Every structure is written in structure tokens, then in C-alpha cells.
Structure 1
Amino acid sequence: MKRAAFYACLGLALASQVHAADPGVSDTEIKIGDVSIMTGPAAFVGRGFAIGSKVAMEEINAAGGINGRKIVVVTEDDGYIPSRSFQALTKLLEVDKIFALNGTSGTANVLAMMPLITEHKLPTLVSQAPAPLVYQPVRPTVFTFGATYDNAFYAQLKYIHEKVAKPDAVYGLIRQDDDFGKDVELGFERAVKAFKLNAPLRIRFKKGTSNFAAEVAQLRKAGVSVLANGAIFAGAANILAEARKLDMPLTAAQVWSEGIPASAALLAPAGYDFLVGDYVSLVGPANDRFRELAKRFVPEGELKNISRYTYVSYIGMKALAHAMQQCGRELTRACTVEKLRQIKGLETGGLSAPVDFGNEQQLSGTAVAVYQYDAKAATFKALTGFEQY
């Protein structure tokens, strides 16, 4: 009898080991990690992103969770510093025991975390920094949502060439001297070649540059009337401000980060009705519906922080939730990764084109829409729907 009892207990122990949940999963909860920019000059990015995670979490939990388990989001701040991103993810894995990762900060930050993501076979949604460096080569557990800056600038310049610019328009480029800037320039060169544009000037500048008087003087001297502005946040605003000082008639294509309220407010004083290409919706019924949903779960004072980064976070969390739901109660990281690979045509309520990871790069959200900012009204309007470029 004692031996039988021993083997019975041993069998139960082995069975429990076989069915032991992966880290971050309990009988009642699933922990999802966010590494985001919550402090520093770009903190408004992280604040917007955090709202998307919260709204998705609360919406899912209010509907019963993931097969009876509630989602819990754990956020760590990296201040947009890659070394801190590595430390933040280390803490999320070793202390908080997260199951998957939704927030990943910037491109260099994702790459800094990649060894940990690979080692732990961590299901990861990258939507803040959908750069080719993230998905080329493909990492088995990493799924990227978003378009390239290449496609975003090509889409804008195509629209400008076909709908806005005069036949004698002169095109110019100003961009950071780094991998981000290279991607912007790829889109510029694609458009120049495709439409045989008159483009005599390409200017590069070091990250952190704040005074663009000399660069803008070069643009004016070359007669540039259409500008691919490959700077972000204050840099982009300073470039347009210098152009206004010189009273340059200018149509400007911008990075999608300039489509968030905080950035648009910086650019608005220059008075240019600039364009933005983006893989999420900036205005329209989908955004109105999301805001109404957010009011149920987000304090009124935080609603002002809703931005394009809110939408990418929300979509990423919903995709993760969809995959986890398909795994049933026996939830594992391996199953979640497999179900993410099987996502095809997942609707986002109009916030983006449908999500589809069924491709070799595990890449979705590549369709781009073009928007124009009305500086006087401080609002965006859609110029195109989501299109592949």
C-alpha cells in the first residue's frame, strides 16, 4: 500500500510538471510586460502607449479575461536608453515573471533586449519600432506590427507628386545620420526614381542637433519646395520654424511621430499644413469609438495623452490576447507563438489594416495612410486610406 501510494504521488507530481504553466501564468492571471518611455523628453510616447495597454487589458478582463484568467500589465521605464531597456526586461523576467512582452520602446532598445527575448523564447509584439532591423533576420518569437519609414515617406511623396506639387517642384531631404535616417532616405530615393523628381539636395545631421539655420539656408538656396523632413519631435519643429523665418513656400512630409498631439503642437507655430504617413488611423470613426471606450477605463485627466502610440499598443495587446485565447487553459509561450503565426485578417475596428502574421517575416500592419495637419484648426484629415506601398 505504501509503495502504491508513493507511485501515485510520484505520478501526480510528474503530471503536474508536464502541465506546469510557463512563467507569468497562474490559475487567475497572465502577466504581460511593457518596456516603455515613461520619463525624459519623449515620455509622452510612453504615456500614450500605456493607455493602449490599459484599455485593452480592462476591455478583455471585463469580458471574462483569457479563458477565465485576467490580464495584468507590468510596465517598466527605460527612459529611451537601450542599456536601461535591457535592465527593465531583466527585472520583468526575473522579478515580475512576465509571460509575454507588448511594449518594446525604440529600435535600439528592442535590439538591446533581443538576447533576453531569444533566451526566454518570449512572445513579443513590436509595434513602437517596426524597423527592418527588428524582423530581418526573423526571430521565432518576435512579431512586428507596423510599416517602415521607407514606405511612409514614399506614400507621402507619391501623394504630393500626384495631388499637390507643381510640375517644377524641387524636392529635398533632411534626415538624421543613422539607421533611422537611412530608412527615411530609402523612401525618398524610391519616390525620386519612380516619379523622376527634381531632387538636387540631401542633407544629413547628427542626432541631437537643435540649430538648423545652416541646413535650411541650403534648402532655400536649392529652391526646395517639397521637403522630406526626417527629423523628429523638437528637431522637426525647429526645421519648419527656420523655414518659416525665411518665408519658404513648403510642403513637408514628416515622420509618423509628428502625428501625435504633443509633436503637432510643436510644429504648428510654423504654420505649415504638413503631411504624415502612418500605419494606424489618426482621425475618424475608429478613433472616436476608441476614445469612448477609453472613457470607461481611463481617468479623464489622462485622455489627453491618447496618441497614435495608444493605438499601436492596443492593437498589439489585442493580437496577443487573440493568440492566447486560442490556446485554452493549457497556456504556454510556445502555443501563443504558434497561434500568433496563424493570425490572418484580425480586425482592429478600423484603427489599422487587419492584422496578419501569416508570412515569413511575421510582419503585419505594413499598409500606410496619409494624413494632413491643418495648422489653424489643429486637426488632422485623412488624404488616403490604408494602402500597400
Structure 2
Amino acid sequence: MARTSHRVTAALLVAVLVSACGNVSSDAGASGDSGEAPPGITTDEITLGATLPLTGTAAVAGQGLEAGLRIAADEINAAGGINGRKVKLVLLDDGFAPDRVVTNVRRLVSQEKVYALVAPSGSQGLPGTWSFIADNGTPVWGPVSPADPKQQEVYLLSATRASQQQVAIDYFAEQGSTKLAVIKQDNDLGVSMKLALDLQLPKHPDVKIVANEDVQPGSTDVSSAVNKVIAAKPEALLLATDNNQVALILQHLRQRNITIPVFADQGGAGTGGTSAVGPAGAAAEGLIGGMQADVVSTDNPSVEHWRSLAKKYQGQQGESGFSLQTYSFLKAFAELVKRLGGDVSYANFNKTAESLADNPISLGSIPDIACGKLPNGHTCVQQAGLAEFKDGKWTVLRKFTPPK
């Protein structure tokens, strides 16, 4: 009897070990070499997060960004999820305050245990999170217009502010403008503008900067900068400010009967939407905006598909350009994760993302996403377009092109 008991015990032990080994094998398949599954992943769910300005001075943009994520998540989930996993979104409001952006990112990673950040916003706050992100290895997919940190975890899916500004400089030079003025914020936005000028002006030796003025972030006092620009008599004006200041600057210019072309990047111009042109009113006529995604009114089939979904969205700004942008980012993320197969480890995420240079993700609503290896490959899109606000709507002025 004792011998039989030992046999039964041994058999049970073998069964337990086999079962345990099976679980380890399954986890390793999800996590790669580490043997530990990444956060935010279960057999039936993938948790993704973003920090957005849902209230405050940039709430209109934030609501559009939120709408695009929710529209994409609903569509993905209705189709069965990503490799069978439903998307769970955790979206936190930062009120357009840099310190809250940092706090939200830490909460999303440490407390909410998100697998990745998808389309977070906050050009002033996100750079303050890069060290924390590196420590945790959390992928940041498509942050909205921050500077390029050339960091393993961060993948930029839109033309940077600098790239958009470079394309605008090329455009004004081709139009014969030789005297340009600049109004920029004394922050990351201004740094991007300086980079664009440093890169592009040598390519256009006839183009000169006749005024280069700074304004304080979040301030409504733009009159001094505008007055100095007017005094310099430029032929075109480049802005590197938020959407509220874009509107104020346009109003000041038009009140003085200054009708020179004015450019602002996607974030500042709110290209495709009303975040800048709405407050500016009639003064917005002729505003040129950087284009990171196609404009919402185009007959592009991919945009028409998004628009059919956006019309059913119940929140604010569902049909804005910001919505189209983040919708496209999450759809691209879903495609990338599908390509991961059973190994959703961060190592495989980075490896697969860096292979997109050879096999891009093509959606039609945004330029092809063709990430490569560092140091430059995580800026996954080099092209930018231009659109003009005319007769109450945005019209494509220049399709996606790289800077010269």
C-alpha cells in the first residue's frame, strides 16, 4: 500500500510540474526572453492609456483626440479585438498643465498598468516623462507632436512640428516670399521652430527672417509681438504657438488690415477642425495649417470610412481633424500588435515596430508608418502636408511631402 501511495504522489507531482511548465511556456510566449508577461495584457483584454487636455484652454483639441481613440476602440472591439483581445482605454485629463501630464503618465504606468500609451498629448509635459518611460520600458505609440527624444520606447507617427515648419518654409520660398517673420513660445514649440529655421534657411539663401518674437505660453498678451512683426513688414508669418494664441494673433493682424499668409502647425492651427479658426472668426480666412493627417472633408475612402463612424459618436469634436489623427494612430497600433502574433513582449514590440521600414503600415488617412532603428528610425513619418482655411472649410493646399 505504501508503495502504491508513493506512485500516486509522484504522478500528482509530475502533473503539477507539467502544468506549471505549461504556464511558464505560455507566459514566455507573451513576454519573450524575460519570462514575465508585460502589464496590461490578459487573455481577453489589452489596456491602453493616454493623457489628454479634456478640460482647460486646449479642451476642444483634447475632446477631438479622445473621440478618435474611442471611435477606433469601438470599431476594433466590434470586430473581435486585437488577436482576440478587446481594447480597454484609460484616458486621463491633464487640463493642458505640464505637471499633470507627468502625473498622469506615472499613474497610467504604475497604477493603471497600461500595456502602452497611445496618442498621448502634451508637448510641454511629455518630455518630462521620458526618463520614467525608459525605466519601465512602456511603449509610447504616436505621442501628439512632442520633440523627438530618439528613445527606444517612443515612436512618432506624425510629422514633427519642425518637419511641418520646414515644409511651410519651402512653400513660402516657392511662392516668392523672401521676408519671413516668426512668433514662437519660449518652450518646446519654439525649439522646434528654431530647428526648422536652422535646417531650411540655408536651402533658401534669399529668404530672411525679419522678425523673431517670443510670447509666453498660455498668455493672452500677444500684442507686443504682433506689433513688432507688423513693423518689420514680412511677406509671411510662421507661428509656433498654441491654438488660442494663433486665434489672437490672427485677430490682431486682421484688425490692422494685415493680410499676409500665416502658418501654424497641426496643433496650433487645429487643421481640419475649429480649435483655432473658431475663436478667430473671420480673421481665420487664409490661415495655412500643417497637415499630419488628411483633412476631414476629403473624398479619400479611408477618411470617408472614419467619417461614417464619427457621425455616430455622441461626444464633442468627433468629426474633427484631431479625431481622425488619433483614430488612425490606434488603428495603426492594432495592426502592429496583430503582427506581434503570440509574443507581445516589449522586446518583440520594438523589434516589429523597427521592421516597418521594410513593411510599412498603410492606412490612407495618414502618411505610411515606416519606423526603423534608432537613432532616427523612431520618427516614423517624414512627410507633412499643408491645408488652407478658406470660405469656411479646410482645403488641401499641398499633399504629404518631405522637406527639401
Tell me the TM-score normalized by structure 2: 0.85
Aligned to 1:8: 15
Q: Aligned pair 1:339/2:352, yes or no?
A: yes
Q: 1:86 to 1:171 in 2, by over 3 A?
A: closer
How far apart in 1 are the matches of 2:343 and 2:232? 64
Deviations along 1:157-195, one digit per CA (max 9) or x if unpaired, are 3223323x56xx532111112231121133245444322
**Which of residues 195, 201, 206 in structure 1 aligns to 2:216?**
206
**Which of residues 310, 329, 339 in structure 2 aligns to 1:294?**
310
Aligned to 1:309: 322
Aligned to 1:261: 274
- RMSD of Structure 2 on Structure 1 (CA): 2.2
Aligned to 2:245: 235
Q: Aligned pair 1:59/2:75, yes or no?
A: yes
The offset of 1:111, in angstroms, is 2.2
How far apart in 2 are the matches of 1:104 and 1:79? 13
**Which of residues 358, 369, 377 in structure 1 aligns to 2:372?**
358
How far apart in 2 are the matches of 1:240 and 1:314? 29
| Structure 2 runs not aligned, ≥5 long | 1-7, 28-36
How far apart in 2 are the matches of 1:338 and 1:324? 12
Q: Aligned pair 1:224/2:231, yes or no?
A: no
Deviations along 1:35-94, one digit per CA (max 9) or x if unpaired, are 222121112222111111112212222222222221111112222233323332333234
How far apart in 2 are the matches of 1:280 and 1:212? 29
Q: Aligned residues: percent identity?
A: 22
Give secondary structure in 1 for the equivalent of 2:220.
coil
How far apart in 1 are the matches of 2:106 and 2:266? 30
Give secondary structure in 2 for the equivalent of 1:221.
helix
Aligned to 1:118: 134
Contact 2:124 2:188 in 1 (8 A): no
Deviations along 1:319-378, one digit per CA (max 9) or x if unpaired, are 221122123345333322322222232111x2111111124332212211111111xx21
Give secondary structure in 1 for the equivalent of 2:398.
coil
Tell me the TM-score normalized by structure 1: 0.89
**Which of residues 235, 241, 255 in structure 2 aligns to 1:245?**
255
Q: 1:103 to 1:220 in 2, by over 3 A?
A: closer
- Kindly name which structure, 1 or 2, has the bigger radius of gyration based on alpha carbons: 2
Per mean C-alpha deviation after superposition, the further-off stretch among 12-21 and 100-109 is 12-21
Q: 1:351 to 1:127 in 2, by over 3 A?
A: farther
Give secondary structure in 2 for the equivalent of 1:145.
coil
Aligned to 1:326: 339
The offset of 1:311, in angstroms, is 2.6
The offset of 1:25, in angstroms, is 1.6
